[in-house]
Amino acid sequence: MATLGMSEADRVALDGFKRDVVDPSMTSLVIAYFTATWCGPCKQLSPIIEKVAADYAAKGVLLVKIDVDTNKAIAAQFRVQSVPTVYAVFQGQLVADLTPARTEAAFKKTLDQILAKLPVQGETQSLEAEIEPLIAMGEKVLADGDAPRALSIFQQIFEMAPDNGDVLSGLARSLIAAGMLDEARDLLGSLPDTMAKLPPVARARAALELANVAPADAETSALEARVAANPDDHEACYELAGALMAQDRDRAADLLLGSIARDRTWNEGAARARLLQLMEVVGIADPWVSALRRRLSAVLFT
């Protein structure tokens, strides 16, 4: 900021701005809130913006109030023409104008968008970086079939980050793999709506639904006999695929793909719906799912 021609008072104010806004913005997202004691709209906005800043403090968001009457030089530098004016500052640069936001929801939506794009360093981000390799380890152990060890890993991570969607999903799916369906159902049923709608949690819910369809000790001999006698028995293929999902996903997928190829409209597309559910449980990013999606596309569009 330019300092030429400034009074001593303005220079002091500028030093304070550097200390309170610019320096913290090197790692934090600073909300520079230009206000005034005589400003009516500011009195209405202040409780909202203060609450949002408190809610986002762990994410590296810092609120700094700037009185335009006692910081005229700073207000002039930012071309503040009216109050309230609200800017987001990161690494010394103005990155967003938050002034149009007037509700808690609007502020949070905008902050979420900004935080998703910038390398802000807060407690939440630090914790996420710390647990990311632990989640990966737990997922690998779970994929390898060691449900008790995966459960132990995710229980420990859950103590560190109980509101993390990936952790909740891993814990629930570990409970399911360990045969603890009631515990998984209680865990997923206790989540608030905001958590329940997260994609990783939806993946765990799909896993629970499949577990209810396909218990690990499901008897399949009768269904195998029906399919062998009549490959066009869609109901038998569907039920057998459901029973096999927990122990032989390749065979389950083959059965469902075969049913879809013969009659994709059977039971209002039930085979395709179950196949998509299986893919969701395994995980969209999994190479097995990518290959299966290509096979499904070949069946549907050729």
Structure tokens at 242: 């459901």
Q: Phi-psi category of 122—alpha, beta or left, where left has phi over 0 and alpha has psi -120 to 50?
A: beta
Annotated catalytic residues are: 39, 42
CB-CB contact of 277 with 206 (8 Å):
yes
Q: What are phi and psi of 86, to 5 degrees?
A: -130, 120
Contact residues for 103 (Cβ-Cβ < 8 A; gap 6+): 48
Helix 165-177, helix 123-143: angle, nearest 10: 20
pLDDT tens for each residue of 99-120: 999 999 999 999 999 999 999 9
pLDDT at 6: 65
Give the separation between CA 108 and CA 159, rounded to whole angstroms.
Answer: 26
pLDDT at 214: 64
Give the separation between CA 66 and CA 85, rounded to whole angstroms.
Answer: 10
Give the separation between CA 85 and CA 32, rounded to whole angstroms.
Answer: 8
CB-CB contact of 80 with 24 (8 Å):
no
Q: pLDDT band at 75, cuts 50/70/90?
A: very high
Q: pLDDT band at 7, cuts 50/70/90?
A: confident
- Counting Cα atoms < 13 Å in the Cβ hemisphere of 65 gives 14
Could you tell me where the beta strands, DSSP code E, fall in the chain?
Answer: 29-35, 61-67, 85-90, 93-97
Q: Is the pLDDT of residue 244 over 90?
A: no
pLDDT at 132: 95
CB-CB contact of 52 with 111 (8 Å):
yes
Rg of the Cα atoms in the chain: 28
Of the candidates 275, 246, 249, 245, the one whose C-alpha atom is nearest the C-alpha of residue 260 is 275
Give the separation between CA 7 and CA 258, rounded to whole angstroms.
Answer: 82
Give me the mean pLDDT over the 232-261 stretch.
90
Give me the mean pLDDT over the 143-158 stretch.
94
> Between vectors from CA 24 to CA 21 and to CA 29, what angle results, nearest 5°?
85
Largest Cα–Cα separation, the chain: 95
pLDDT tens for each residue of 189-242: 999 888 888 889 988 998 898 887 765 555 788 999 999 999 999 999 999 998
CB-CB contact of 11 with 43 (8 Å):
no
| Predicted model pTM | 0.67
Of the candidates 247, 43, 225, 246, the one whose C-alpha atom is nearest the C-alpha of residue 237 is 225
Run of H or E residues at 17: helix 8-17
CB-CB contact of 36 with 67 (8 Å):
yes
